Amino acid sequence: MVELCKFPYINETAENVQSISEEEVRSLLDNLRDAECLILAAEGRSKAALHIGIGQIRREVKLVEDLDFPGRNLLEAVPVLKKQYDKIALVINSSSGNTTTPKETAKDLADYINKRDSNKQFSIDVVTSKPRSSIGKIGKKYGTMLTLSGPKSKAKTMDWVLKKGIMNDVYELGSMVLFQKIKEALNEGKDHLWVMEEINKEMEAVGRMIDQYVDSAVYQSAVEKMSSRGHATLGGRGPGKSVAEMTIIRLQHVKRAIGDQAYLSGELAPRPRHGDCLLLVSWSGENKPLFAWQKEYEASEADTFSIVGTHSTLSEATDSIIMESPANQFYLRAAFLLSPLPLLLVAKLEKNGFGLPPEIMDWYHSSTE
């Protein structure tokens, strides 16, 4: 296995994305190049990975759940979309190939294509680790299907893991890099060979970055604060919010095990208390809603942290990691940088003698050994 980073799951992610088929990358890239509009479908961390990767693409991008989507579901929107665009691609990111909403959306569109899409305006383009899954088969028949491997090692109690969702991010992080480089290729007019080369370069960069920052005083301080009693809140705006969501999905299981919670900042998060902590993600560090959250937490004597792309108002107001990176790559790298956070939190709690449930420890060891 390639050694880019001290965390094995990052090295496994690199190996998986470097092993994808060049022909499948070419087919996906060509299909999306022809599309004027992309409709994104995914759930959970795969959804966050897709949104981070595709963000800032020079295409119309629509989500069925958006207020301005021209219908209550994709089939209801088809007549409107057909008039607005010559070519529309449904882009699905699903590790299992069986996630509920993407699967039903894919089945509905496949049925429409089969019966009524004589002009071939629609395609279904799938990235999955299970090519023989229902979603994988639909992509292969009605568009493209790219196989990206998931984690090879798994926690021992898979029933619990499947129910609770605590696992490493090998597939999700890999798909995020793939979509990031597909997006850049479409924006810059590059070919599939460029995508493959840039994937390798990006994985080398994130490996160095993780090793550089996880041992920093700020990162270790965030781990220390989150290991103590108190809620953890993460947040951002736009792609920063997707980065926070991707991290919270795993972090919340560890916090719940010690009687606390992890929240997404905003109207659904509780009022901060002494002992809580806030971590914000923003490339510019100049987003006004983030200032308001930071000031609210600071006034409650909570600890505030940030990951930013440059020296800024937010970096001055918080314990901050300044991760210098182009804006279009910052959020991908921030997601990678935060991915070890739950692992380090488990290690800290174990060191302090806190007995976490065996299911969490199995997951932890499957991600670090």
pLDDT in tens, 106-122: 999 999 999 998 889 99
- Domain 8-210: give its CATH superfamily: Glucose-6-phosphate isomerase like protein; domain 1 (3.40.50.10490)
Per-residue confidence (pLDDT) for residue 166, from 0 to 100: 47
Decide whether 8-210 matches 215-368 in CATH topology: yes
| Domains of the chain by residue range | 8-210, 215-368
SS3 letters across the chain? CCCCCCCHHHHHHHHHHHCCCHHHHHHHHHHHHHCCEEEEECCHHHHHHHHHHHCCCCCEEECCCCCCCCCCCHHHHHHHHHHHCCCEEEEEECCCCCCHHHHHHHHHHHHHHHHHCCCCCEEEEEEECCCCCHHHHHHHHHEEEEECCCCCCCCCCHHHHHHHCCCCCHHHHHHHHHHHHHHHHHHHCCCHHHHHHHHHHHHHHHHHHHHHHCCCHHHHHHHHHHHCCCCEEEEECCHHHHHHHHHHHHHHHHHHHCCCCEEECCCCCCCCCCCCEEEEEECCCCCHHHHHHHHHHHHCCCEEEEEECCCCHHHHHCEEEECCCCHHHHHHHHHHHHCCHHHHHHHHHHHCCCCCCHHHHHHHHHHHC
Q: Which structure tokens are listed for 339?
A: 């991915």
CATH T-level topology, domain 215-368: Rossmann fold (3.40.50)
Closest of 199, 186, 143, 134 to residue 24, by C-alpha: 143
Residues of the chain with pLDDT under 70: 1-2, 153-168, 359, 361-369
CB atoms within 10 A of CB 301: 11
Per-residue confidence (pLDDT) for residue 38, from 0 to 100: 98
Per-residue confidence (pLDDT) for residue 273, from 0 to 100: 93
Per-residue confidence (pLDDT) for residue 186, from 0 to 100: 98
Per-residue confidence (pLDDT) for residue 263, from 0 to 100: 95
CB atoms within 10 A of CB 45: 27
Per-residue confidence (pLDDT) for residue 175, from 0 to 100: 98
Per-residue confidence (pLDDT) for residue 158, from 0 to 100: 36
Q: Which structure tokens are listed for 18?
A: 């470097």
